[in-house]
Structure 1
Amino acid sequence: MFSDLAAFHGWFADRCTANAYRVRRVPLEDLEGWSTEAGSGDLVHGSGRFFSVRGLDVTHSGREVDSWQQPIIVQPEHGILGILVKEFDGVPHCLLQAKMEPGNVNLVQLSPTVQATKSNYTRVHGGRAVPYLEHFVAPRGGQVLFDALQSEQASWFLSKRNRNMIVRTEQDVPLLEDFCWLTFDQIAGLLRVDDLVNMDTRTVLSGAVALLRPRHRALGGGLAGEAVAGAWETEESALHTTTELLSWFTEAKGAATLTRRLMPLSDVAGWSARDGVIAHDEGRHFTVLGVAAEAPSREVARWTQPMFAPRSQGVIAFLTRRVAGVPHVLVQARTETGALDRIEMAPTVQCQPADHTPPHGLGRPPFLDEVLGARPDRILLDVVLSEEGGRFYHARSRYLVVEADDDFPLDVPPDFAWVTLRQLTHFVRFGSHLNVEARSLLTLLGFLDEGARAAGLSAGAVAR
C-alpha cells in the first residue's frame, strides 16, 4: 500500500527495471510454433490453441464502406480478467500488477489481478501457474461484486469475449513482488497518466463505477464534480427511460444488415504478404506483423507471436451535455465488424482520423470535428491510453470527454442516443451492450472527480 502516488511511481519504476524485458520485430515466417496453414494461408499455432489469424469477408455493413475484406483474430475461448478487492482499515483496495505485454509501447502497464486466456491459465504453454487464479474460478472464496462476459475490440477480433470479474475477499492474500494494493482514489489519479492503466484494467473497472456512486453523491462544485454527481439523478431525470433505450438498441440490432464469413487469409482482397508482414495495399488500417518477446516475470519467459499494428492513433470520445440540468453522454448503436451481436453501444466518436482524410475518401464520422475542435475549457478529460497489449502492437487512442454547449442539439441521428451515467452502469452489467471503448470511457468518466482529488487538482482543472 502506498501513502501517495509518488510512492507508487517509485515502486512502479523499480518493477519496470527489475526484469530484462525485450521485444523485437521478426518476419511472420520466422515465428516459432506458428505456421502458415496449407491451402488457406491462415496463421495458426502448432498446439491448435491460443488464437489464429484468418480472413474475413464483410458485406452489407451499413457503415460508410459497405463491403470489405480483412485479416481478423479468431480466439473463441473466454479468458478471465479479474480484480481482487480487500479492505484495509476500512478502505477498499484493488490488487493490480505491473505486467509486461509485448504490444505495449512502454512494455509494462498496470493490469488486473488476473489477466489470462484459457490457454494460459490451463497452462497449454507449459509455463508457470497464473497467480491468484483461485479467487476467480469456482469453487472460490469471497464475494463476487461484478461478473459479466464482455466483448473485446471488434474491429480486430471475431466474437471475442472475456469474463470480467471483481471479487472481494477477507482472506489473507500474499503479496507477490509485481503486485500492489491501490485505493479507488489512487487508481483514479493513475487513469489520467498516458499509457499506464491498461485496457483490461479499464474494462473491469467499468463494473466498479456503480460502487463509487455514494461517494459521487457527496461531491460538490466544479464542472467535473457536477458532471459525475449529477448523472446519478433518478430515472425521471433522464431524457429517455432505460426501457426506451433498450428498445432503441434492440431495434438497431434487429435492423442490422451486416453479414460476414471467414475466408482464407491468402485470398483477402486488398491485402498482401510482403517483407515479413501482411499489410494493406494502400498502407491503411493496420499491419499484421511478428514479434519475439522475452519477459522473465511472465508464466513463459520467451515466445513469438503475430500481432496487429494500427497505422495511426485512434480517437475515442464522449460528447456530454446537460439535459434539464442532468449530464448525459451521447452514445451510438455502432455496427462492429466482429461483435457477437453485430451491434453494440459505442462512444460518440470511435475512429482512426487518418482513415478519414484525403486521399482515402472516407467521409468524416459524425461529431468528429466537434470533438477535435472543442475549446480547452470544454474538455473534461484528455488522455492517451493503450489498447490490448497482448494482441495489438503499439495501439494507442486519445480518450476524450468533451462537454458540448448548452445549445447543442438534442435531436441527433437515429443511431445515436443521449444516456445518463446511471443508465450506462446498468447496461455494463450485461454482455454485448457496451463495447470495450465505451467501457473504458465509462471508467474514466466514473472516476473523473475521484482522480482530480487523488491527483491534488481542483475539480475544474481536470483537462490537461
Structure 2
Amino acid sequence: MHIEQIELDFLISAISQGNVISTDKVLAWMKQQNDEVVSNIRQIPLEEVRNWSYREDRLRHDSGKFFSIDGIRITTNYLDVSTWDQPIINQPEIGFLGFITKKIGGVVHFLAQAKIEPGNLNIVQLSPTLQATRSNFMQVHGGKKPNYLDYFNGVRKVRVLVDQLQSEQGARFLQKRNRNIIVEISENEEIEVKENFIWLSLGQFKELMRYPNVVNMDSRTVISCIRFGNYSEHSLKMMSAFLKLNTKSDDQLIYSMLSHNNHLHELEEIIQWMTSLKFKYELDVEKIGISKMNNWIYDGNTIHHEANKYFDVIGVRCEIANREVVSWDQPMVRSAQHGLMGFLVKKINGIYHFLVQAKLESGNFDIVEMAPTVQCLTGNYRKGLNEYTIPYLEYFMNASKENIWYSTYQSEEGGRFFQEQNLNTIVEVGDDFPVEVDLNYCWMTLNQILSFVTYNNYLNIAARSLLSAISFVK
C-alpha cells in the first residue's frame, strides 16, 4: 500500500465517529469497566517491596530485569540551573506500544483495550492493543503471554502502517524508548475481540481525549505518530468544503495540518535550529548511588527530596484481577503536584503555527527534544517558586476562555507513575504576540511538526500527547 493511501485512510478515520459503537456508549462501557474492576492498590515502604532489593546503592528487581531506580548527577549549561542530582527510572529495554487496525465499513478502526494500571487515577483507561515491556512479553514475571502479541512479533502476517522508536518522559526515564507500531489486518480477516477490547475510529479517540483520564498516555503517543499527508491547494479547498458540511471545521487548522506550504520557516531551517542547539548545550549524566545524591533522602520508606518537592519514589502493592500477573509489588514515581504542558498557537500568513520549544531533560537521548511551548512537571509554577524562568507561562495562566482550544487533565503512564496527571492545553494568541521569539523556540505548522514524528528523538512525549488530541474540529 502506498504511503499516500495509508495517510488518506487515517485522515478518513480521524473525521469519522466510528461504525461499531457510539462515543457515548464507549464512555458508558468505560464506566462499567471501572465499576466492575477488582483491584487493591496501596502504598507500602520501599524496603517491604517483594522481589525488589536495595543493592549496589540502587533499587533493583531480583531478576535483574524490568527496571531499576538509580541516582544520577546532571551537569549542563542549559538555562539557569547548571547541576542537580535526582533519582531516575533506568529501563534500557525497548517495549511494544501497538495497535491492530482493520477497516470496518471502509473506515480504519483501532482495537483498544480497557486496561488497568496500578498508577491510573481511575484504574481503567483506554490503552493500545498491546502495551508490554520486553520483560513482560518474554514472560520474566512468570505470567501469561500478552494478548495479540503474535500480530506484532512477526508470527502473524500483517501490514505495518507505522513503526517508530519514540522517547519516553525525559525527566523521569534514562534514555528510554518504546516501539510505537500500528499494524493492519485484512477487512476479511476474522479476529477474536477479547473481553475488555473494543474497536474505535481515530475520530472517536480524539473526541475521548477531551475527557480527563480516559485515553492513556501510551495510546496518545502511538496516535501522535500518525501523519495525514500533504495535499494540493485544490484538494484542500474541496476537503475544507466537505468538512464544513458535516463539522465545525477551521480552514486555517486544516491547512496547518495538511499543507506543506505557507510556513514561516523551511524544514531545513528548523533542522538547523535543532542541530545548533544540540551543539550549543551540554548534558553530562553521571550515574551515582542513591545515597550519594545531594538533597535527596532514602529512609527505607520512600526516596524523596529534602524539601518534599518535584517527586518521590514509593513502594506499591498491586492486586488486579485481569492482569497477566494478579499480584505484585513495585516502586513507582509519585509527583508532588500536577503539572502543565501547553502549546501557544498563532496565525502567521493565515496559517496556524505552533510555538515549539527545544527542551533539555536529564534522561534525553540526544540532549534536546522538541517540546510544547510550556512544560512544567510540578506545581511550583503556580506559586512562582521555580528554579528557572519559564517563558510564556503567563499566556496560559491568564488565558481567556475564548482563546482556549483544548484544556483537560491527562494521566501519565500508569505503569510507572502513581496517580500523576498534568493539564494539557492549547491556547491561541493574537496579532499582538510577536513573531520573533526566544532562541530556544520556533514557530512551526502542524504539518511540519508531524514530519518529525517519522524520526527518532525529535518530539518529546509531552508534545506528542498534545498533538494526539488535535482534531480537524477546533
- TM, length-normalised to structure 2: 0.90
Question: How many residues get paired?
Answer: 447
CA contact (8 A) 1:333 1:343 kept: yes
Structure 1 residue 64: deviation in Å?
2.7
1:150 paired residue number: 166
Counterpart residue identity of residue 152, structure 2: F
CA deviation profile, 1:424-458 (whole Å, cap 9, x unmatched) = 1110111100000001111112x251xxxxxxxxx
Letter in 2 for 1:78: I
Partner SS state of residue 220, structure 1: helix
Of 426, 429, 447, the match for 2:454:
429
CA distance in 1, matches of 2:333, 2:261: 44
Question: What's the offset of the Cα at 1:359?
Answer: 7.8
Equivalences for 1:89-100 in 2 at 5 Å? Answer: 89-100=105-116
1:412–1:240 Cα change, 3 Å: same
Aligned residue in 2 for 1:250: 275
Aligned pairs for 1:300-311 (under 5 A) are 300-311=325-336
Equivalent of residue 97 in structure 2, options 75, 78, 81: 81
Change (3 A) 1:227 1:437: farther
- Residue 226 of structure 1 and its aligned partner are, at CA, apart by 3.3
Q: What is the Cα deviation at residue 186 of structure 1? A: 1.5
Within 5 Å, which residues of 2 pair with 1:196-345?
196-210=214-228, 217=240, 218-220=242-244, 225-232=250-257, 234-274=259-299, 276-345=301-370
Deviation per CA, 1:63-102: give whole Å up to 9, x if none.
Answer: 3311100000000000000011101111211000000111
| Aligned equivalents of 2:421, 2:307: Cα separation in 1 | 21
Using the TM superposition, give the Cα deviation of residue 16 of structure 1 relative to its aligned residue in structure 2, in angstroms: 2.0
Amino acid at match of 2:193: L
CA distance in structure 2 between the partners assigned to 1:164 and 1:353 by the alignment: 27
Instruction: Report the residue type matching 2:374 in the other structure.
Output: V
1:311 Cα deviation after fit: 0.3
Residue of 159, 165, 180 corresponding to 2:198: 180
Residue-by-residue CA offset, 1:183-209 (whole Å, 9 max, x unaligned): 122112111110110000000001224
- Percent identity reads 37
Could you tell me which residue of structure 2 aligns to residue 453 of structure 1? Answer: none
Q: Please give the root-mean-square deviation of Cα atoms over the aligned residues, in Å.
A: 2.0
The one-letter code matched in structure 2 to 1:248 is W
* Cα distance in 2 between the residues matched to 1:229 and 1:83: 25
2:372 is aligned, of 320, 338, 347, to 347
Q: 1:32 aligns with which of 20, 31, 50?
A: 50
Partner of 1:261, secondary structure, is strand
Letter of the 1:71 counterpart: P
User: Is the Cα–Cα contact under 8 Å of residues 111 and 198 in structure 1 kept in the other structure?
Assistant: yes
Q: Structure 1, unaligned stretches of length 5 or more?
A: 450-458, 460-464
Counterpart of 1:454 in structure 2 is none
1:362-373 matched pairs, under 5 angstroms: 362-373=387-398
Q: Structure 2: which 5+ runs fail to align? A: 1-18
2:244 alignment partner, SS class: coil
8 Å Cα contact 2:243-2:249 kept in structure 1:
no
For the residue of structure 1 that corresponds to 2:103, the secondary structure is strand
Mapped to 2, the partners of 1:382 and 1:61 lie a distance apart of: 33
Report the secondary structure of 1:439's partner residue: helix
| Counterpart contact for 2:30–2:114, Cα < 8 Å | yes
C-alpha separation between the residues in 2 aligned to 1:211 and 1:87? 19
Q: Residue 35 of structure 2 is aligned with which of 6, 13, 17?
A: 17
In structure 1, give the amino acid aligned to 2:154: A
What whole-Å deviation, never above 9, does each CA across 1:222-262 have from its counterpart, x for those lacking one? 98623520203543310001111111111111112121111
Preserved CA contact (<8 Å) 2:166 2:180: yes
Moved more, 324-333 or 227-236: 227-236
1:385 pairs, out of 410, 418, 422, with 410
Q: Which moved more, 1:410-419 or 1:135-144?
A: 135-144
Give the conservation status (yes or no) of the 8 Å contact 1:209–1:443. no
Cα 1:324–1:359, aligned 2, differ >3 Å: closer, same or farther? closer
